[in-house]
Amino acid sequence: MSQQPPLTPGRTPVSQFVENILMRTSIIVPSALACLLTVLGLVACSRTRPIDDDRLKSADRDAGNWLMYGRTYDDQRFSPLNQINEQTIGKLGLVWSRELGTTRGLEGTPLVEDGVLYLTSAWSVVHAIDAKTGVVRWTYDPSVPRSRAFFICCDVVNRGVALYQGKVYFGTLDGRLIALDMRTGKPVWSVDTVEKTRPYAITGYPRVAKGLVLIGNAGAEFGVRGYVSAYDAETGKLAWRTYTVPGDPAAGFESKAMEQAAQTWHGEWWTVGGGGTVWEGIVYDPALDLVYFGTGNATAWYRALRGPEGDNLYVASILAVHASTGEVAWHFQITPGDNWDYDATQPLLQADLTIGGRPRKVIMQASKNGFFYVLDRATGEFISAGPFVKGISWATGIDPKTGRPIESPSAYAGAQPVIVSPAPGGAHNWNPMAFNPTTGLVYLPAKVATQSLHAPDPNWKYNPKRDNVGFDERYDGPLNDTLKKLPAPTGELLAWDPVQQRAAWRAPYPVVEGAGVLTTAGNLVVQGRADGVLAAYRASDGKVLWEFDAGTGIMAPPVTYLVDGVQFVTVMAGWGGPDGLFNAPDLGKVRPGHGRILTFALGAKAKLTPPPFGHSEPPKPAITLNATPQTVKEGSILYSTNCQYCHGMDAVAGPLPDLRYATKEVHEQFINIVLEGARAPLGMPSFKDLLQAEQATAIQAYLLSRASEPAKPPGN
């Protein structure tokens, strides 16, 4: 039997009982009656309550809405609603779906207030949608220049908005922070948060803390300096900015923290920016008045290319700063001197746990590097860490006193190539995890035994016109064959005990990639997958209770809420991101396609008919191009260097057009498209700064050679 929600402070047992009944049944309570019950103190009516600091602090008691990225400030993604529970989940059906007009990745968390969904789509487009009917209230397109896609590492995604004082806040791919009127979608203010001459982007969500809107940025793969900015929520005026890596010492340091961090860097790191971007995972503890965020990789990825070795603070770290000033309170570095793209930007989750017989206020992260960390969120003290996946090869363990990793001798060989696990995509990435206080477990998507070749390019030099990872794309040594012989990666939904640092259960996927997670008081965990299936599991043991085919791969996390007394579940389906674009063949049967939003409730029976996507027949070359084998091979290398991160490994596409199927008209304009930007308005930028005409022709020859091979269509 599912458990009752806990007694809400300030409510009588009778009023709590009535509220519980409303949560647990399918009775539809009209809005007017809901407001009348509010007067009687029986249910909350959000129409009379602005979204202010007090309301955000008490979001745990506002069960009918989903007001923040993780529902509450602790980001647990736990809902006390239990109309939909382990007994009733079999009756869950589709209420409505709406196509969002994109085939790119959808990663956002919809926020819900007063029966309206506020969500972001590809290219930073914002929608307000009626939660009951799917009718669009308004749409705002910030008109991000499509050429920006060139300087975005991981698809043109956006992970969501923030709501506060009648406004909707969101970041854009070209680095703006915009405030919209919640009712109309009209802009209230807009500010540039980044230096326009550097290749910054924003894909993460904003966080509201004490009247400030906090936002980070991305771009470390291209060469930028990371920071977090705080803006006045009413006016958009900059309140403070905290950098995550030091700048040029000759210009002076912005803070004591940056001066200390500079002692862990060597060479002229500032000339390439340094990295350490905060592209995800900003959370806030109102009681401690601390803001927490994780930082990303350095530029370049590899230590041997960054100069003499050091810890390179504060890359791959978790930082706590004071909300009012941005002053650093503490830091903990997950991967000192990171060499493998082990960002520490994964979601941060707060909880109060009893560990070793004493209550602890903790902050937790399932890191890219394969270890699950538990820290004291007041002090940053290391409490524990444990490997949550098998096959970790970069480290043999974590020092139990300091929390510092014990690196494996095989994980680093200077400028020499090595194979390491996890891969840069991590054992867990940005996909949100959830904590259920009833079971005491954290639920997260995990990737097992993902191996990657790391081959630093000894000739690498910073180039502001392209990415600056530092990987040697021309490496053709024996480790390539070794990598091909290693077992394929697998994926699973993992239930992790953060106190004992061990798995409670594991539910394997038929694909590698799992989406963000929701857990509820109905003893449920709800999660999508790359094959387009949305599934509900029993939270206590991982048994699959319900599945639905959403037609397109899912990356985004579901949310749940009440409208007129009925519990709904909403999720966005849209396959993309770095895994979708790269489209490696070992991910399983992923489902690229048209992106949509879907909403479910008990007893609903709407049908979903996804529009067709992709090709059903093998490709055929559209033209004949006489090219030597040497030209085709060179085209293959150039394609891998310049094209595959959007158009797919081996020219087999995911969400974007499959270039093996390019038409005669496309091939006749090929040079104009690649070098002159003829399709820049569609997101295909010009490569004239990186390629010569003969190189573009070599790429074309390679694509035509791929089209002539007896290849199967994508996904088969």
Q: How confident is the model over 403-442, as pLDDT tens digits? A: 999 999 999 999 999 999 999 999 999 999 999 999 999 9
Cα separation, 316 vs 279, whole angstroms: 12
pLDDT value, residue 32 = 39
> Mean of the pLDDT values across residues 253-259?
97
Cα separation, 503 vs 443, whole angstroms: 10
pLDDT at residue 19 tops 90: no
> Mean of the pLDDT values across residues 39-55?
64
Could you list the active site residues?
Answer: 341
Q: How confident is the model over 566-619, as pLDDT tens digits? A: 999 999 999 999 999 999 999 999 999 999 999 999 999 999 999 999 998 999
pLDDT value, residue 26 = 34
pLDDT at residue 46 tops 80: no
pLDDT value, residue 2 = 35
Whether residue 314 is preceded by a cis peptide bond, meaning omega within 30 degrees of 0, is yes
- Band (pLDDT 50/70/90 cuts) for residue 179 is very high
**Could you give the domains of the chain?**
1-48 (no CATH), 629-707 (1.10.760.10)
Q: How confident is the model over 69-104, as pLDDT tens digits? A: 999 999 999 999 999 999 999 999 999 999 999 999
pLDDT at residue 42 tops 50: no
Q: How confident is the model over 291-309, as pLDDT tens digits? A: 999 999 999 999 999 988 8
> Mean of the pLDDT values across residues 240-247?
98
Query: Cβ of 170: how many Cβ atoms within 10 Å?
Result: 29
E-strand ranges in 89-244 read: 92-99, 111-113, 116-120, 126-130, 136-140, 162-164, 167-171, 176-181, 187-192, 207-209, 212-215, 227-232, 238-243
> Mean of the pLDDT values across residues 325-341?
98
- Band (pLDDT 50/70/90 cuts) for residue 150 is confident
Helical segments of 53-171, H only: 53-57
Q: How deeply is 485 buried, as exposed, middle or buried, from its count of CB atoms within 10 A (0-12, 13-18, 19+)?
A: exposed
pLDDT value, residue 48 = 57
Query: Bridge partners of 270?
Result: none
What percent of the chain has pLDDT above 70?
A: 92
Tokens describing residue 274: 């340094």
pLDDT value, residue 281 = 84
- Band (pLDDT 50/70/90 cuts) for residue 710 is low
pLDDT at residue 24 tops 50: no
| Predicted TM-score of the model (pTM) | 0.92
pLDDT value, residue 45 = 45
Q: How confident is the model over 153-170, as pLDDT tens digits? A: 899 999 999 999 999 999
Cα separation, 562 vs 556, whole angstroms: 20
CA angle 300, 303, 309 (to 5 degrees): 135
